[in-house]
Amino acid sequence: MKQFDNMVLIHKHLTGQLSSEEKQAYEAWLLDNENQSNVEEISQVWSKTAAYEPTSFEPNATAAYHKFKNSIEKESAPSTKVIRLHPLRWVARIAAGLVFVISALFLFQSDLINGDKYEAPIVASSILQHGLSDGSNVVLAENASLEVDNRFGEQTRKVKLEGKAFFDIQRNESLPFIIKMGKSELEVLGTSFNVNVVGQISTVEVKSGVVEVRAKTKTEKLTVGQKAVVNFEKDEIELNKTEQSAFNWTKSVLSVESVSVVQLFDELEKYYNVNIELNPNVDQSCTLTSPLAGNSSIDQIFDVLKETYDLIYEKQSNDRYEIKFLSCK
């Protein structure tokens, strides 16, 4: 016969969790008078512990309220400073032919819901890579629009998105990155993921890290390989698996045109995870167009560049190249 812990049986009896087998064992065990006194003692313990109030902890509601008030005042403090979209390397790398930023007539757009103010939206006429001042990167799909909170990087890391984008967020424990997707929200500390916002329905696919998505009242935490469809109006979050190929669309962003030598080789270094050194004989004033394609190897790229430009390079190892000479004249 199965052995039961009598203490657990009493507890389950008190909390109404006895299974029929346990109930049988409990009743049999209870026939002994001594056991009945055990039950009485434990029942008494159980009953008396209901009144427990922590003695060693006295929360300070007044201090907590002041802390809360300070933090909302900081958030709502008017800011006249326009945080420029940071001229990071990522921005510098953006191929001119791909970039079409709509500089709206207004500088700020108010978010009526919570008083947030955003810089003029960046609208991608085709795939566009964009660096944010906190070191995070965004790849916007065609027609996607990104608005950056004008206090971005200082008191908040909030952006608004319409359309599809891939985010690679720089980790910052003290300042979560928040993406407003219509009325729903997404919050992360540092991770990478796809977001597609169409009206009030947003789709989130996680490539790395953890992403928290929020509908009206519901919240879900997504991890690597998970996908969520958030319907704000219906307050629904539907979870599914995502495919690794879901992130392939971002690769075409590397089809850069008309970029400087430094930009091009920076891009190649990052894309192929190699080290490329530029010899002083390289003419850095050149503007190049690289035939980058998702499936080409770095060697194939160098071959094409060699045919297109006056290029001499040396492959020093599998992940190390030196550009000995480059001229575009």
Partner 1 sequence: MENKDREILRLLKTDGEKAMEIIYSDYYNYLCHATYKILNDSVTTEDIVQDVLMEIWKKREILDITISLKAYMRRASINKALNHLRGKRMQFEDDDKYTETFVDSDDSHQKLEFNEFSDMINGSIESLPEKCRMVFSMSRFESMTYQEIASALDISIKTVENQISKALKILRKDLSDYKMKGNSIKIS
Contact call for residue 50 and partner 1 (CB under 8 A): yes
- The tokens for 76 are 């709502």
The residue ranges of DSSP E strands in the chain, in sequence order, are 109-110, 117-118, 122-123, 128-131, 137-140, 145-148, 157-168, 177-181, 184-188, 192-198, 201-208, 211-214, 219-222, 226-231, 236-241, 259-260, 275-278, 287-288, 310-317, 320-327
Contact call for residue 217 and partner 1 (CB under 8 A): yes
Reported as type and span, the H/E element at residue 274 is none
The dihedral over CA atoms of 316, 318, 324, 329, expressed in degrees to the nearest 10, equals: 160
Q: Which of 59, 173, 174, 297 binds partner 1 (CB under 8 A)?
A: 59
Contact call for residue 77 and partner 1 (CB under 8 A): no
CA gyration radius, the chain: 30
Minimum CB distance to partner 1, residue 308 (Å): 53
Contact call for residue 46 and partner 1 (CB under 8 A): yes
The DSSP secondary-structure symbol of 286 reads -
Q: Which of 21, 27, 32, 41 binds partner 1 (CB under 8 A)?
A: 41
- Between residues 56 and 297, which has the closer beta carbon with respect to partner 1? 56
Q: Which of 1, 2, 57, 273 binds partner 1 (CB under 8 A)?
A: 57
- Tell me the three state secondary structure of residue 228: strand
Sequence-ordered list of residues with C-beta below 8 angstroms from that of 287, at least 6 positions apart, any chain: 258, 259, 260, 328
Taking CB under 8 A as the criterion, which residues in 148-207 touch partner 1?
A: 183
Q: Which of 1, 3, 15, 245 binds partner 1 (CB under 8 A)?
A: 15
Give the residues across from 199 on adjacent strands: none
Q: Which of 2, 48, 84, 329 binds partner 1 (CB under 8 A)?
A: 48
Q: Which of 56, 273, 297, 317 binds partner 1 (CB under 8 A)?
A: 56
Contact call for residue 239 and partner 1 (CB under 8 A): no
Q: Which of 21, 27, 67, 294 binds partner 1 (CB under 8 A)?
A: 67
- The tokens for 258 are 């008309």
Q: How many residues make contact with partner 1 (CB under 8 A)?
A: 38
The dihedral over CA atoms of 181, 184, 188, 193, expressed in degrees to the nearest 10, equals: -50
Question: Which residue stretch of 54-62, 97-105, 137-145, 237-245 sits at the interface with partner 1 (rule: CB under 8 A)?
Answer: 54-62
Question: Which residue stretch of 4-12, 121-129, 136-144, 271-279 sits at the interface with partner 1 (rule: CB under 8 A)?
Answer: 4-12
C-alpha–C-alpha distance, residues 93 and 77, integer Å: 34
Q: Which of 42, 83, 88, 224 binds partner 1 (CB under 8 A)?
A: 42
Sequence-ordered list of residues with C-beta below 8 angstroms from that of 19, at least 6 positions apart, any chain: none
Minimum CB distance to partner 1, residue 228 (Å): 17
C-alpha–C-alpha distance, residues 102 and 92, integer Å: 17
- Between residues 10 and 298, which has the closer beta carbon with respect to partner 1? 10
Question: Which residue stretch of 58-66, 95-103, 134-142, 292-300 sits at the interface with partner 1 (rule: CB under 8 A)?
Answer: 58-66
Contact call for residue 223 and partner 1 (CB under 8 A): no
